[in-house]
Structure 1
Amino acid sequence: MSEKGRHDYAATVVWTGNSGEGTKHYRAFSRDHEITCASKPTVFGSADPAFLGDSSRYNPEELLLSSLSACHMLWYLHLCANAGITVTEYIDNATGRMIETTNGSGYFESVTLKPSIRIGAADDSELAKSLHDKAHSFCFIANSVNFDVGCEPEVLAG
């Protein structure tokens, strides 16, 4: 049993990219892998194509960006429901910037969430816009990263 307030998660990542030579040299293997969590559908991952990955699969950088976006959205929808604001549409075209360093490592410098939200015609659009700040402060993922996460919301009524 978990402690109150503590949530434990588990994921299994399996490398599926052994082309027969293992990691004998840098170009000898595929970066393909599969991510599973319990009995949920498998996420097919790879590296970014810049690092010899398969562009048809999700890469870790895209998954980090989408995790930030989804966490913010879920908090925002929760806060709007509590505030009596009816959100009828939500789409976020989030962007992120990763910097590669001279030693080959890298880090995310920033992420910008760009949610476009449609609310009910009679709802308070200023309140709806302000709830993004509160959603950001509650977002589990944003609270766990060490780079700037900005938000440029657009709220449309009706």
Structure 2
Amino acid sequence: MKQQRIFPGVILIGFGLYFFLQQAKFSAFQPFLSWPTLLMVIGLAFLAEAYSGHDAGGILPGVILTGFGIHFHAVHQFGFWSNDTGVFILIIALGFLMQYQKTRKGLFQGLLFLLLAVITLFYDKVVEWLGVLENQAWSLWPFWPIVLIITGGYLLFIKKK
């Protein structure tokens, strides 16, 4: 019974703190009083519910929402933070890997998204590592979205477990 109160409790406390700090006009917190903070509050509520009870279904959405909130704050606060699609894919990969840690399900998806994130974030280095295969890699590059579509179709329609 207790775990059914964790998610709404964390959301109410988080939103209450958010609106209190907004009304109090503390200058130190003003840069963080935007919609990414609300994403983080909801994500943290999912994570609190997932890790306090036996419902691990909230780990993936919790990591994704919290990670996206952190990312949007970091993009505006830190000049070195990458605003690349690969960062979003990396956050999703971390979500699957954390879910795997608790449930032993989702390892393949986590590793697949991690590989995709590494390729996306470090594409120049990956092409450099390919070295001799560079010309062939460039000729295959336009087809990588098709590989993603086929892999997704396989996971949706063919792989039954």
Same fold (TM over 0.5): no
Structure number with higher strand proportion: 1
